[in-house]
Amino acid sequence: MGEGSNFTKILSEAREYRLGCWLTTQYLNQLATEMKRAAANDCRTKIVFNPDGTEDLNRIAGMLQGIDKKQLRQLGQYRAVIQKPSETQRGPAAVFNTYPPWNANHAGINQIKDRATQAEPRTTEIKLRQSLGNQTSAGGEKHKQLLAEAKQDLEQQGYQVNLLYQADEEEKPDGHLVTPDGKTAHLEAEHSTLTKPTKVLKNLKRGTQKDREVIFVVKEGKAVKLENILSDPVNRRGSQHEDQHGTYSYYTEDGNKFTDIQAVEDADYRIIEIREDSITIHEEEVEAECPMMENHQKEELEQFCLHRDNGHCQELGQECVLQT
Ligand code: SF4
């Protein structure tokens, strides 16, 4: 929006001619007084990224309903505030996440895949370029590291990944993900949550409510444990209740049972295991493998195994795979 342009006239008449414009500026103070006034009064939808450090903070806060200077200063990277127009009374402005710049080169996907499969093991931590919030819902450092690794690996495979800033007031997935065929899915990293099946099932339910596939990422070796939760939401290992298929006990956390089985029964999900040097995307249900087979003969284990109790494998958390 340069000085001396005809934009002030265009802005005042655009509506009449049903003309829509996207105008951007780094600093309001760069604009001539007339243009500044036109931008404030005639641009009915305003989107503001973190204006911290600019002299325009007061003026910008004044254009946004219910957002103060402190909230503007605290906007993380890739977060913005939108003030939408209204025919009657202006509603409150809302904070939203945007997609960080993504420079995927689709033409080179195959080379990237080849490189990824020959990659050296990860030796250093991957740093996220964005804040995910400090609230409890943002998870601990290991959770963040898992997300960072998943983002890096999935983007190399042609997925677009947008990790979401977590605030206490709303329950969100860890991220949104656009698959190479253009479908939006939820991204959930399960680290400590694997010991909290109700949390995992709630994450799955959130995706089904939006009619989206849920892509779960776990550390190497944890896919079976996650599959056990997702494929058995009533917890058939329990014995509190009984139906025509056998006994079950709903998963419970802090006294709250997860009973919304219908919501997750036909859910669409995939599990991705993050390995040291690559990822494995499980397109089908994850088949459990006996963890003792590396060091023992199958025949021996079929006869006797320390981990088996009444046909149940305590290591896998499901029926012994050698006795089914
Ligand atoms: S109980 Fe079965 S699946 Fe589990 S470790 Fe023993 S033999 Fe393997």
Asked whether residue 222 falls in the same domain as residue 135, the answer is yes
* Residue 240 within any structural domain of the chain: yes
**Neighbouring-strand partners of residue 319:** 312
Pocket lining: 322 vs ligand 1, CB cutoff 6 Å: yes
* Residue 19 within any structural domain of the chain: yes
* Residue 1 within any structural domain of the chain: no
Kindly tell me if the per-residue pLDDT of 199 is higher than 70: yes
Domain boundary among 63, 97, 131: 97
Out of 12-26, 273-287, 290-304, give the one with best mean pLDDT. 290-304
Percent of the chain with pLDDT over 70: 84
* Residue 145 within any structural domain of the chain: yes
Mean pLDDT of 102-128: 64
> Phi and psi at residue 156, in whole multiples of 5°?
-70, -20
pLDDT of the residue at 103: 67
Domain boundary among 46, 68, 97: 97
Percent of the chain with pLDDT over 90: 23
- The structure tokens 């550390």 sit at 219
Asked whether residue 36 falls in the same domain as residue 110, the answer is no
Kindly tell me if the per-residue pLDDT of 87 is higher than 80: no
Asked whether residue 176 falls in the same domain as residue 279, the answer is yes
Average pLDDT, the chain: 82
Mean pLDDT of 155-164: 88
* Residue 2 within any structural domain of the chain: no
Mean pLDDT of 231-252: 88
User: 259 and 250 in contact (C-beta within 8 Å)?
Assistant: yes
Asked whether residue 42 falls in the same domain as residue 164, the answer is no
Out of 29-43, 107-121, 134-148, 297-311, give the one with best mean pLDDT. 297-311
Asked whether residue 187 falls in the same domain as residue 295, the answer is no
Asked whether residue 269 falls in the same domain as residue 240, the answer is yes
User: 235 and 250 in contact (C-beta within 8 Å)?
Assistant: yes
| Residue pLDDT, tens place only, 167-185 | 766 688 999 999 888 899 9
User: 124 and 130 in contact (C-beta within 8 Å)?
Assistant: no
Pocket lining: 224 vs ligand 1, CB cutoff 6 Å: no
* Band (129; pLDDT cuts 50, 70, 90): low
Kindly tell me if the per-residue pLDDT of 214 is higher than 60: yes
Cβ within 8 Å of residue 227, ≥6 positions away = 271, 282, 285, 286, 288
Mean pLDDT of 221-247: 87
Asked whether residue 80 falls in the same domain as residue 191, the answer is no
Burial pattern 252-281, b for ≥16 Cβ within 10 A else e, equals eeeeeebeeeebbeebebbbbbbeeebbee
The DSSP call for residue 107 is G
**pTM (two decimals):** 0.58
Q: Determine the Cα–Cα distance for residues 226 and 195; give it in Å rounded to an integer.
A: 10
Which residue's CA is minimally distant from atom 2 of ligand 1?
320
The DSSP call for residue 31 is S
* Residue 136 within any structural domain of the chain: yes
Asked whether residue 117 falls in the same domain as residue 258, the answer is yes
* Residue 219 within any structural domain of the chain: yes
Total number of domains in the chain: 3
Asked whether residue 110 falls in the same domain as residue 258, the answer is yes
Residue 68 in tokens: 């103060």
Find the 162 Cα to ligand 1 centroid distance in Å.
39
Kindly tell me if the per-residue pLDDT of 94 is higher than 60: yes
pLDDT of the residue at 251: 94
Domain boundary among 71, 97, 123: 97
Range of the domain at 309: 290-324
* Residue 277 within any structural domain of the chain: yes
Pocket lining: 292 vs ligand 1, CB cutoff 6 Å: yes
Beta strands in the chain (DSSP E): 46-49, 79-83, 94-97, 160-163, 175-178, 184-189, 214-219, 241-243, 246-248, 252-253, 256-257, 269-274, 279-282, 308-309, 312-313, 318-319
Pocket lining: 320 vs ligand 1, CB cutoff 6 Å: yes
Mean pLDDT check: name the lowest of 4-8, 65-69, 156-160: 4-8
Kindly tell me if the per-residue pLDDT of 2 is higher than 70: no
Mean pLDDT of 138-156: 83
- The structure tokens 């655009």 sit at 14
Asked whether residue 310 falls in the same domain as residue 269, the answer is no
Asked whether residue 173 falls in the same domain as residue 261, the answer is yes
Pocket lining: 315 vs ligand 1, CB cutoff 6 Å: yes
Asked whether residue 58 falls in the same domain as residue 182, the answer is no
